[in-house]
Structure 1
Amino acid sequence: MDIYFSWYSEQFFLECASKAKYSDVGQLDSERVRAYLDAERQYRERKGYLADLRGSPTQVWNRMAMYHKLLQYPVVMKTRTTELWRTTHRTVKALYTMVIMTLFTVLLFHTFRAAHRLTITLLLMIALVHALRDYLHDEMVNRITGWVRKGRPLARTRILKPLTGEEMGAQLVWFDYSPPARLPDNVKRNAGRGQTGEEMQAVLYRTRLTLESKALGQDQIQEVLGLDLEPLCELIEGGQNRLFAQTNDEEVQNGVLVHEIERQHSYTLLVVCTVPGDPVARAQRWSVTLSVRGIAQCEARDADWPTPA
C-alpha cells in the first residue's frame, strides 16, 4: 500500500496549495513543497506506480479508495476444502462389502451343495447372516476407516487469492478425541480438573498452514479460528434443583425466595501456536462455563507453558 501513502501525501499538499491563503506561506516553504512533490513523482516512477494513477479522476479516486479500504479491512481469501477421509471411507466400505459378500457366497454355496436342497434352516441362516451384516456394517466400516486414517489429516484446504485464484498456500486439518492419559505433558498441565465422578474427554483440533513464498510476497496472512459452542449448550440438561432463601420483602410469598439452579458444564480451551523456525510454541488458555442459555462465563487463565526466551 505504499502507493496510497504517496498519493495521499501528494493530495494533502495539493489541497493546501488550492487554498486562497496558501500564498501567505512564503517562497521558501512553497519551494520545499514543490521539491517534495517532485520527489514523490520520481519515487512512484521508480517503483512502477504510474500505471495505477492513469485514467480519469474518478477512476484514480476509486482505485485509491479501494487501497484505503484494504488498509482498514483485510482481504478474505477464498478456500476450497477437500475431505480426505471421504475417499478412504468409500474405499473401505466397498472392500468390506466385497469381502463379506464373498464369504457369504462361499458359505452359501458349500451349505447348499452339502444339503442338496433348500430347507427352512438354510433360509433362516441366510436371513441371519444378512441381518448380522447390516447390523455391523456401519460400525465396522467406521472402525476400519478410523484405524486406516489414524494420525492422518481429515481435510485439506487450498487458500486462493480472491481475484486471480492464485494458490497462496494449503492447510491440513486433524480432528480426534483423546482420553486425558494420552495427552502430552504440556497439555495435561493446562487441562484443568474435571468435576468429581465425571470422566474428562479431550477434543483435539490441529491445523498446519503452509504458505507459498512466491505468491505471498510482502503480504501477511492472519488465521482466524472460530469456535461455535452452541451444540455443546444443547447437550446440557435443564436443572431441577432449587435454592431457598429467606427475605423480608413483603411482596414475596411467605418471605421465601426460590432460585432455580441451572446445570453448567466447564471446559478448558487451550490454543497453541507454533511458528516454523521458532523452537518455542506460544499458548493461550481460557476457562469457559456453559449453560443451557449459552456462555455463562469466559475467563482468561495463565497457560503453564514454556515461554520464549
Structure 2
Amino acid sequence: MFSWVWEDKGSVSKVVVRQEESLSLKVLHQLKNGDDRRLDLYFMLPKDMGVNPQSLEAGEYCHSSVVGRRSYYSSGLHLPLVQGRFVSLNKRTVQEFRLYLNLFAYQFAIAIETDSKELAQQKDPEQFYPALSELCDIVTQLLKKFRRNEPSEPKWKHYFDNADNYLSWFCEQRLLKLLSHAPRSNEHGEVIEQTLQLCRAESAYRDQRSYNSEQTQGDPNRISNKMLLLRRLLQRGVVLKEELKTLGVGLKKFATGLTTGLIMLIVSSLIIQAQGFLSGVTLALVLTLAVIYAFREIFKDDLRNALWRWLRKGRPRWSRILRDTTSGAIIGRQLIWSDYLPSSDLPDAINTILRRRHSQNRVDAEILHYGINTQVTQREFLAGYSTIQEQINFSLAPFARYLERGRSKIYKESDGKVSSDSVERRYQINLVLMLRENRQPAQFARYKITMNRSQIIDIAEGRLPDGIESLDTPPESTSDAKSSSASNTSTQAQ
C-alpha cells in the first residue's frame, strides 16, 4: 500500500488489476507517445450465475457499468511543482502554472482516494491501524510539500488557494470516513487520536485561511457542491476530453434494408405463385396471402438480427477520440469492443490458459469480452507531461443481481452435541487479460475473482502454463534500451 508516493519501488505489471470497492474492479495502465496498445479482458461467468446475453446485453453492461478515465500522469508524486520547477516563477506563464498545479493536486486526490478505499477493505485491526497511521504521516508530509510552494503573486495565488482548499477538505473527509468504518479495537486509541488531530488541524487551517464562508461550512449541501466544483477545476488540463461515437450505424441500416429486400423478394414470389394457382379474388387466395404476410412478420426480425450479428461479429462497437482540454489537440484514438463470445472464438493461448484450471473449476461459462485498442499520437504532449494513465472501472453489481440470496448451514457433531455454521454461496469468475502493444507478441495474465452477492471476497492472480508469456515478462525481441524504458514505465504504473 501507499506505493503511489515514491518512485523506483521495483518492477510491476504493465497492467494493474485490483479491487476498487465492494463490487468494483479497477484496471490501470499507462501509455506514452506513439504507443499502439490492444487490451482484451475475458470474463468467464459460470452459467449458474444467471448472466447471459438474454439477461444482460453486453452493450448495455458496457454503457452502465464500465467507467473509464484518461488523464495525464506523472510518476509517483515527485511532480515538477514539488521538485522545484517553479523556483523561478516569473519565467512561467499563468497557464503553465495552473497545468502543473492541477496535475499535482489531481493525482494527490486520486492517490488518497485509491489508498483509502484499499485500506477500508482491511478488517483486521492489527493491520488497519498501523496502515492508517502511515497514511496520516504521508498526507501530512505531502500537504507540507505542497504548501511550501505557495506562490506570492495574486494572479497565481487564486489557483493555489482553490487546490489547497480542496485537498485539505478531501483528505479530512477520507480520513473521517475511514474512522467511521474502522474495525473496533481498544488498543489503538493513539492512532485514532492522531487521525482526529490531523482532521482538526486541517479544519482549523481552512478557517484560518477563510477558504469557506460560515454559511457554506454550516450547510453540507453547499460545501459538498463547492468541493465538486473545485474538483472539476482541478481536472481542467489533466483529464482528457472524450468524444464517443457509435460505430456500425450505416451497417445496421444496410442490414435492415437487405433483410427487407430479401423478405419482399420471397413474399412477392409466393404471391405470384399463389395467384397462378388460385385465379381471381377468392377466399382461398385471401387466406393464402394472410398466411404469407404472417410468416413475413414472424421471420423478418429474426432474419434481420441474424444478419446484423453476422455483419457485426468481431467489429468494434464504439470509437473514442481523446483531446487535450486546453489546446484541443488530438492525443489519441480508441476502438472499443463489448460482446459475448463462444469458446470457439477464443484465441488459442487463452484456451490453453483455461485448460490449466483445476478440474472442479472447469464449469460451463458465458464469456463476456471487453476490448480496447488505443493509438497515442506521435506528437509530444504539453510541456511537463510524458504519460497518459487510463483507469477503467468494472462494476460487478449487475452480475451480483442474479446471484442467490440464501444462506445454508453446515452441521457438525461434537461430544454428542450438534451445532451448525452458516455458510454463504460464493462464485468464482475467471478473468483472462491479453495485452498486445507495438506489434510485439501478446502477453497474458489470469485472475480468479471470488465474490458473493454483496462483495468481492478475493482477487488472486493465477499461474500461467509454460510457454505463455506473462505481463511481467519483458519481450525478448526488444533491445536493451527499449527494455529499460519498458521497466521504467512499469515502475510508473505503481
Gaps of 5+ in 2: 1-78, 98-151, 168-230, 477-494
- Kindly provide the amino acid, as one letter, of the partner of residue 153 in structure 2: P
- Kindly provide the amino acid, as one letter, of the partner of residue 57 in structure 1: E
- Counterpart position of 2:242: 79
Q: Does 1:230 align with 2:401?
A: no
- Counterpart position of 2:371: 206
Q: Does 1:136 align with 2:299?
A: yes
- 177-186 or 160-169, which moves further after superposition? 177-186
Q: Does 1:9 align with 2:174?
A: no
CA distance in 1, matches of 2:263, 2:363: 40
- Counterpart position of 2:155: 59
TM-score of the aligned structures, taking structure 1 as reference length: 0.69
Q: How does 1:158-169 map to 2 (within 5 A)?
A: 158-169=321-332
1:51 shift after superposition: 6.6
Q: Is the 8 A contact 1:239 1:261 kept in 2?
A: no
Q: Does 1:263 align with 2:263?
A: no
Determine which of 272, 275, 286 is the counterpart of 2:437: 275
Structure 1 237/128 Cα, relative in aligned 2: closer, same or farther at 3 Å? farther
Structure 1 120/105 Cα, relative in aligned 2: closer, same or farther at 3 Å? same
Gaps of 5+ in 1: 12-40, 249-253
CA distance in 2, matches of 1:67, 1:125: 76
Q: How does 1:35-114 map to 2 (within 5 A)?
A: 44=91, 49=92, 57-63=153-159, 75-112=238-275, 114=277
- Counterpart position of 1:243: 410
Number of aligned positions between the proteins: 267
- 122-131 or 88-97, which moves further after superposition? 122-131
Q: Is the 8 A contact 1:194 1:200 kept in 2?
A: no
CA RMSD of aligned residues (A): 3.8
Secondary structure in structure 2 of the residue aligned to 1:92:
helix
Determine which of 358, 367, 381 is the counterpart of 1:216: 381
1:92 shift after superposition: 0.6
CA distance in 2, matches of 1:7, 1:293: 47
Secondary structure in structure 1 of the residue aligned to 2:391:
coil
Structure 1 288/50 Cα, relative in aligned 2: closer, same or farther at 3 Å? closer
Higher Cα Rg: structure 1 or 2?
1
CA distance in 2, matches of 1:298, 1:10: 47
CA distance in 2, matches of 1:272, 1:53: 38
CA distance in 2, matches of 1:225, 1:140: 36
Q: Is the 8 A contact 2:336 2:371 kept in 1?
A: yes
- Counterpart position of 1:116: 279
- 214-223 or 193-202, which moves further after superposition? 193-202
CA distance in 2, matches of 1:238, 1:222: 38
- Counterpart position of 2:123: none
1:144 shift after superposition: 0.9
Structure 1 120/52 Cα, relative in aligned 2: closer, same or farther at 3 Å? closer
CA distance in 2, matches of 1:169, 1:53: 22
Q: Is the 8 A contact 2:274 2:288 kept in 1?
A: no
- Counterpart position of 1:178: 341
1:240 shift after superposition: 7.2
1:2 shift after superposition: 5.0
Structure 1 255/77 Cα, relative in aligned 2: closer, same or farther at 3 Å? farther
Structure 1 297/99 Cα, relative in aligned 2: closer, same or farther at 3 Å? same
Structure 1 215/141 Cα, relative in aligned 2: closer, same or farther at 3 Å? farther
Secondary structure in structure 2 of the residue aligned to 1:226:
strand
Larger relative contact order (Cα-Cα within 8 Å, sequence gap ≥ 6): 2
Structure 1 142/257 Cα, relative in aligned 2: closer, same or farther at 3 Å? farther
Secondary structure in structure 2 of the residue aligned to 1:9:
coil
Determine which of 456, 471, 475 is the counterpart of 1:295: 456
